[in-house]
Every structure is written in C-alpha cells, then in structure tokens.
Amino acid sequence: MHIPDGYLSPTTCAALYAASGPFWYVSLQRVKKSLSTRLIPLLSLVAAFSFVLMMFNLPLPGGTTGHAVGIGLAAIALGPWAAMLAISVALLIQALFFGDGGVLALGANCFNLAVVGSLVSYGVYRIVSGASAITSPRRVVAAALAGYAAINVAALLAAIELGVQPWLFTDANGAPLYAPYPLRIAVPAMMIGHLTFAGLAESIVTAGVLAWLQQGDPSLLKLTAPRAIESGDEDEIARNKAARADWRATRPLWIGLTALALLTPLGLLATGVAWGEWGPHDFTDPEMRRQITAASGNQAPPPNLPHGLERLSSIWTAPIPDYAPQFLHSAVFGYVMSAMFGVGAILMTFLVAGWLARLRRRKNQRYT
C-alpha cells in the first residue's frame, strides 16, 4: 500500500500533498501544546510501533504481500489528529531511509493511511464503543472493526489513485505514463488481499493490543473515551495525565516494541512484492512479469516500462533500500538493524520536536 515514486503523476502527487497539508497543519496546532510534555512518549511509541508493524509482510492471494499498519491503534490511543502525525512520521522515515513508499508520493501515502485512515478508524471506534466502560469487551470489538475499516478504506483510495493514472496520463501512442493498470484491475487486485488477510491482521492487532492495554494500562485508552469517564473522576483523570507525562509509564511498552523489532525478520518469509509496488527492473524480468500478470487478473503489464514511471522512480535513492544495509551480508541481521534504526529515527524526530516546542514556549513566555 506504499505507493512508490513513478506510479503517480506529478500532478496527482501535488494534489494529494495539497489535500494532506491542511490536516497536517490542524494536527500540529492541536498537539503542539502537548509536544513538550505528556504526548511525546506516546507519540513516539505509536509511530515506532506502526513502523515496525509494517515490516511484517504477509502472503496475500495472487502471490503478493501486504501488512498491517497500526492505524486503528494509533487513532484509539492518540485521537485522530495526533495519530495523523504519528503515522505520517513513520511513513516519512520509511520513504527517506528505506525507499518504502516514494518521496513524491509521500503526500498520497499519508493522505490514504495517516489522514483518512485515522479519521475512519476513530469514527468507527467511537460509534461502536459508545459510552461503554474502558474495560468493556465492546471496545475490543470496536477496535477490531476500526482497524479493519481503516486499512481497507486506505487500500481502496490507493487503488483508485493508481487506477485512474492510465485514464488521465498517456503518451502520444496511448500507452500509460505511470501506473499501468486501470481501475477495473487495480481495485480488485488491491482489495482482495486487504479485505481478507491484511484487513484481518490489522483487526487482530488492533483488538489484541487494546485488550492487553485494558488489563495492563487502561489510562492510555481514556484519551479517546471521554464519555466512559464519570464526572466525578477528576482526580483519576489528573493521575492518568501525570502518568502519561512520564517516560517510565510507557517503559513496558517500549520493551515489548523492542522484542517485536527483533522478530521483524519473520516478515522476510513472505515472498513476492506488494501489488503496485514493483520496481522498474521488475517489468523486464520474465519471472516477475509472470507474477505481476497473475496478480493482475491475468493481464500482462505493458511490454515497455512506462516512461513517466522510469523517469520518476529514480528521483530519490534511499540509503538503506528494502531494509537491507549494503554493508551487511545477513538479510536477517540487516532487517533487525533497519527496524532499530527506524525506531531510533522516529524517537529522535519527536524528541527534537518536543525540544523545539519547549524553546518556543519559553520564548513566548519571555515576551509576555
């Protein structure tokens, strides 16, 4: 679901950056007052969890792969606005350092996953959970449905964005310039895998982590459950806010995340490439062409690499492509090191953001 560079026209990329921009702005305005205090540990943790989770590839029908994203959990733990920032930062680190998703296409990927995904998952969760207690099984069901809905809506948007490219952008001979498959192929090819395996994985992860938090640290779930808090619980709310302000409160979760990062090589067991994420060389490789054909309704890709795709696909060269550091000969160790590096980069991003927020607040206090 990470659209690479070259599959969307520059016009489409610009439009989706513009569509994401207002949401990024509002989310920054909503959370900037908390960046210097309680939200940093949770933002960092959720973004890092999403990053690591996306490294666990799953085999999908047609010989392709997919993965869970953690959108539902982000929206439930942080609310939709902070979740947009967390998922966007995870996608940014993936694109810049690992070439997982394009730099030009980052606006599209963030719009699909971070923006729309967060809003959908939050809306479904709030509607289904209602005013039930924080520890109610109803919230587990709500979380499962929220995760399932979010990843499938995001996948549908990606399929539409890819599928309209051959209709809107062709060369003088009528050949596609960017993504080669139309909507009638892109939508079913993308959705079959997500409505089944990837959606189920997202649903299980979201519900499972929420059920674990209900038992271990339900205070992390109260931010998006205001109706579940009784009016006389002001002292409890204050204690929960204080707990979230302390890095020690999330220490067990960081330990769990580290263990999950060590298990990321399991994602290497899934063979094949995610639909619509083929590299330029895949279009000339006979075996890959057979795989692309089988995953695309038995319609072969164009005989020649689309010119626009060829031109834009090399606009950014990631230093650690495909989570495989060139100086390491072990794919397993390289994958683990990539996971650790990504988590560290996300953590550093939010620590710097918090530091800048504190500097700005002190400056404003000095002049008031």
Which contiguous run of DSSP H or E holds residue 65?
strand 64-66
pTM assigned to the model: 0.93
What domains does the chain contain, in order, with CATH numbers? 10-227+234-366 (1.10.1760.20)
**Do 216 and 252 contact (CB within 8 A), yes or no?**
yes
Task: Report which of 104, 106, 75 is spatially closest to residue 92, judged by C-alpha positions.
Answer: 106
Between the two ends of the chain, the Cα-to-Cα distance in Å is 47
Q: Find where tokens 């509002």 sit.
A: 26
Helices (H), the chain: 10-31, 39-53, 71-78, 80-93, 106-109, 117-129, 137-163, 165-168, 183-193, 199-216, 234-244, 251-262, 286-295, 307-312, 331-366
Can you give the pLDDT of all 368 residues of the chain as single tens digits?
Answer: 799 999 999 999 999 999 999 999 999 988 876 665 567 888 999 999 999 999 999 988 777 899 999 999 999 999 999 999 999 999 999 999 999 999 999 999 999 999 999 999 999 999 999 999 999 999 999 999 999 999 999 999 999 999 999 999 999 999 999 999 999 999 999 999 999 999 999 999 999 999 999 998 888 888 888 877 543 444 454 445 444 445 777 888 899 999 999 999 999 998 888 999 999 999 999 999 999 999 999 999 999 999 999 999 999 999 999 999 988 889 999 999 999 999 999 999 998 888 887 787 777 777 76
**Measured distance CA(83)–CA(21) in Å, rounded:** 15
